[in-house]
Chains A and B, each alone.
Chain A
Amino acid sequence: MTTLDQHVGTRPIPNPKKSLITKLNAGTGLIVGIIFALLTYRGLSTVLDISIYELNNRVLLATMFMWSIGFLAGIGAFIGPIRWLIGEDLTAEEQLYLAGDGQGIKRYFKYCTDHKVVGIQYLWGVIVLLAVGGAMAMMIRTDLANPGGHFITPSVYNSLVGLHGITMIIALIIVATGPFGNYIMPIMIGAADMAFPRLNALSWWVLFTAIPVLCSAWFLGGIPTGWTAYAPLSVQAGPGMNAFIAAIIIFAISTAVSGANITATVITMRAKGMTWNRVPIFVVGATLSVAMAIPAFPTFMLAMIMTAMDRSFLTGFFDANVGGTGWLYAHLFWIMGHPEVYVILLPGVAILMEIVPVFVRKPLFSYTSAIVGFAGIVGLSFLVWAHHMYMTGWMPMLNGPFMVTTEMISVPTGLIFLVILGTLWNGKPWLKVPMLAVYAFLWNMLVGGITGLYLSDVPADMYLHGSMYVTAHFHYTLMGAALTGAVAGLSYWYPKMTGHMLHERASYISFWLVQIGFQVLYLGMFIAGAEGQPRRVVDYAEQFATSNKISTMGAYTIGIGFIVLLWAVIHSWRHGKIAPMNPWGAKTLEWTVPYPVPLVNFDTPPVVTSDPYGYGRSAK
């Protein structure tokens, strides 16, 4: 664990020119990674005949994993573990070097252990993923603007759908816990750094290596399966599927590392006096979210390993011809998949709960309800997965019980509404962009929640399952609620992360473009779904033309809105108004530190005497 004294009173590394640790960065990582990948590919393809389906899959998977390992070796991720193997550890000087103090912009391209650097790395990683996923969404909507499927071929379309899906899912899983969970959260709880700073760097750089792997799917023939990658379709798919499998396995490792790290940090490194009932609600939401991911993601990883086995070693986990079953895949996938939507949702909601008291100048209403709501969602989310399988025919007898657990989730979700509404009540909200997002969330989550009620019901789901209605529903919850929360978090914490205010007019313009475009897009899609248009189709019948055209117009509006936001983020990074230390007048600890935040965050470790919601006239 990093403690204050690790960073204090250290001297520079003797002979810095000769020390390996000072020479490694993302560039050396790329070089070693590519060398590893090339050697693996060349070596294995001489031994194995890559014209044979399963041998080709083995070679490609091995190449992708070796790229990841090579990159990590090249950036210096294994220096610490190797030292442990020989019974040593990094010296204090080397640790200080790894923390990147005083290395300027270069530290963002290094194996840097400073949680603030990792937060910024995650932020840009998320922005890139969202931009790529968003661009794919524009292609999808362009194709669907008119019936006839003339824009792209079905195989390109199917790949777009799958890659858009998985890119956005990965982006949304890390969109809040990545940038804000790493940058802001340790400061919020009064810690000097994360509990395991090197794991923190590892989680980011492991994730980074998954991105080129995923992109390589394009050049290997794409993925025809959608992001759910249902077997046996995924077993039938071409070599691009290996990229999907490898990317998910690498990503699952990253989330496990980061989840363990964030959980350990919050449990062990809170400031003196920060008892559990004084922890800021964002910290609670983010921690529960990553804690939920720890048991959830391994099942996805397992499902991917089994798919890889079926493809590379001709095992038959999912092949009914030899006694396997596709239902096994569906179970493993959704045991991850349903907690996962709450992994995405909780941090976004928690950010908004953090924002409401600040902008309404009232205490968070019923902190206990918020905790109970979160905990209820976490608990129930592991008991609802088979509502994705009502129509698979797996076990119709269990549809009833799964319907009950699913509809019970509306009760803890209701508590979240109560907390936000109770905080708003009798207040005069200060409608800055973060606060506007709270209103957008209330509407979007309401629509997402109610449409979820229909989908949770077996007879209604019999009509809606697999239709555009489902697509519209989960975009309302994941994008309308979770992403809106994360974007609110960006404009809220931007001053602390960059020292500048996010350009205000551009944020307003972006907010309204995105939210209005969003309503238009998914209203059209709800109609298309109610009319009976299946999802994931490259082409559709004439009768769905109007609703699809409406959706496409909405999508373009969202696209422009996010471009404006991207401009604001880049522009304000250097040219924005200089931010005061506490521009919103908030009471959480991150606003008590200056920008740039010192390496160890606090000159003197803070002592907490109350929760951070002591707003209000008659506060005692």
Chain B
Amino acid sequence: MTSSNMTARKRLASALVATIFSVSTVAGLGVLLHKLSADSNGTLVATKEAGTITLDGKVYPKASLTMGVYADKEQAAADGFTGNKNDWVQYGPSNHLILPANTYITMTIHGYDGGEELNNPYFGKVVGTVGGTVNIDGEDITSLPYNKIQHTWTLHGIPSSSQDPLFVSVPLLRVEEDEETGWVPTEDPITNFKGHTITFSFLTKGAGNYVWNCEFPCGDNTYAKFGAAMSGYGYMSGKVTVTA
């Protein structure tokens, strides 16, 4: 331990270098976290469609998008979606949806999973769609029993002075194990690839940031079945950006 023979200039330089180094280390960590948080499956942009639709005297342009919900990774892969890491139940092809503002959105979800019971029976209701209905394999319905559901697609957001409230919740009819084909959704996903086609429409309002998630408890073997896929961001949850 020698006493200080450092010049003042050298000392200042060392302090500056140390500060810049530390700040950049922390900033680098931030960039890393930000990178890790990026949507691994990119975004799903709604396709603009020709024509308009008039509802309550207002004219809306049209757009549409299609998603699938799969019992596991293998099933998702069979539908051409391989983005997620864990072998959990998952939505695809992306969890980040981009929708145009003030538009009539038609959404189609192919649901290939089975299911048990809702925690909260409220999510058996169709809420926030045009006409209050959802079309399941050609049939319009307004609600499903709490024990006939595979998943839900529930869109909501933070009430804020800068964006309009938006709430849509749609139950997806489950694939029964004892249907004609004898197909068991979780056991043999590929050879008997069968599911329901669920279609519904809703109106976006102004630009804003929202989230969507599944309200059906499908994080198997966890408390309230809301762990695992339900709590792992990007499987049964995602965000919705409405762009002006």
Q: Are B37 and A151 within 8 A (Cβ)?
A: yes
B207 to chain A, nearest CB (A): 11
Contact (A567, B222) CB under 8 Å given A221-B232, A236-B231: no
Query: Which residues on A sit within 8 Å (CB–CB) of B15?
Result: 506, 564, 567, 571
Contact (A564, B30) CB under 8 Å given A147-B160, A153-B234: no
Number of residues from A at the complex interface, CB < 8 A = 48
Q: How far, in whole Å, are A502 and B134 apart by their CA atoms in the complex?
A: 70
Q: B34 an interface residue at 8 Å Cβ cutoff?
A: yes
- Could you jot down 14 A-B contacts, CB within 8 Å? A135-B25, A142-B30, A149-B209, A151-B30, A153-B37, A236-B219, A236-B231, A237-B231, A542-B161, A542-B162, A564-B19, A575-B11, A577-B3, A577-B4
Considering only CB atoms, which chain A residue lies closest to B14 in the complex?
A571
Within A532-556, the residues touching B (CB, 8 Å) are: 539-543
A67 to chain B, nearest CB (A): 25
Q: Are B158 and A563 within 8 A (Cβ)?
A: no
Query: Which residues on A sit within 8 Å (CB–CB) of B34?
Result: 151-152
User: Contacting B6 at CB < 8 Å: which of A54, A155, A235, A575?
Assistant: A575
Number of residues from B at the complex interface, CB < 8 A = 39
- Interface residues as binary, B1-13 with A (CB distance below 8 Å gives 1, 0 otherwise): 1111010000100
Q: B55 an interface residue at 8 Å Cβ cutoff?
A: no
B212 to chain A, nearest CB (A): 13
Q: Are B158 and A567 within 8 A (Cβ)?
A: no
Q: How far, in whole Å, are A375 and B17 apart by their CA atoms in the complex?
A: 47
Within A563-608, the residues touching B (CB, 8 Å) are: 563-564, 566-567, 570-571, 574-578
Q: A53 an interface residue at 8 Å Cβ cutoff?
A: yes
Q: How far, in whole Å, are A571 and B160 apart by their CA atoms in the complex?
A: 49
Query: Which residues on B sit within 8 Å (CB–CB) of A52?
Result: 221
Q: How far, in whole Å, are A578 and B5 apart by their CA atoms in the complex?
A: 11
Contact (A236, B227) CB under 8 Å given A53-B222, A578-B3: yes
Q: How far, in whole Å, are A5 and B4 apart by their CA atoms in the complex?
A: 38
Q: Which residues of A contact B (CB under 8 A)?
A: 52-54, 135, 138-139, 142, 147-156, 160, 221, 224, 232, 235-238, 319, 499-500, 503, 506, 539-543, 559-560, 563-564, 566-567, 570-571, 574-578
A313 to chain B, nearest CB (A): 14
B239 to chain A, nearest CB (A): 8
Q: How far, in whole Å, are A142 and B32 apart by their CA atoms in the complex?
A: 13
A181 to chain B, nearest CB (A): 25
Q: B228 an interface residue at 8 Å Cβ cutoff?
A: yes
Considering only CB atoms, which chain A residue lies closest to B87 in the complex?
A51
A209 to chain B, nearest CB (A): 24
User: Contacting B232 at CB < 8 Å: which of A155, A539, A541?
Assistant: A155
Task: Describe B's contact surface by its main secondary structure.
Answer: mixed
Q: Which residues of B contact A (CB under 8 A)?
A: 1-4, 6, 11, 14-15, 18-19, 22-23, 25-26, 29-30, 33-34, 36-37, 158-163, 209, 219, 221-224, 226-228, 231-234
Query: Which residues on B sit within 8 Å (CB–CB) of A150?
Result: 209
Q: Are A542 and B160 within 8 A (Cβ)?
A: yes
User: Contacting A232 at CB < 8 Å: which of B1, B161, B223, B233?
Assistant: B223
Query: Which residues on B sit within 8 Å (CB–CB) of A138?
Result: 26, 30
User: Contacting A237 at CB < 8 Å: which of B14, B162, B227, B233?
Assistant: B227
Q: How far, in whole Å, are A192 and B163 apart by their CA atoms in the complex?
A: 67
Q: How far, in whole Å, are A200 and B221 apart by their CA atoms in the complex?
A: 43
A231 to chain B, nearest CB (A): 9
Q: How far, in whole Å, are A235 and B11 apart by their CA atoms in the complex?
A: 52
B30 to chain A, nearest CB (A): 6
Query: Which residues on B sit within 8 Å (CB–CB) of A499?
Result: 1
Query: Which residues on A sit within 8 Å (CB–CB) of B224?
Result: 232, 236
Q: How far, in whole Å, are A54 and B18 apart by their CA atoms in the complex?
A: 46
Q: How far, in whole Å, are A155 and B40 apart by their CA atoms in the complex?
A: 14
Q: How far, in whole Å, are A575 and B6 apart by their CA atoms in the complex?
A: 7
Considering only CB atoms, which chain B residue lies closest to A319 in the complex?
B223
Q: How far, in whole Å, are A53 and B221 apart by their CA atoms in the complex?
A: 7
Query: Which residues on B sit within 8 Å (CB–CB) of A153?
Result: 37, 233-234
Q: How far, in whole Å, are A571 and B161 apart by their CA atoms in the complex?
A: 50
B26 to chain A, nearest CB (A): 5
Q: How far, in whole Å, are A506 and B153 apart by their CA atoms in the complex?
A: 56
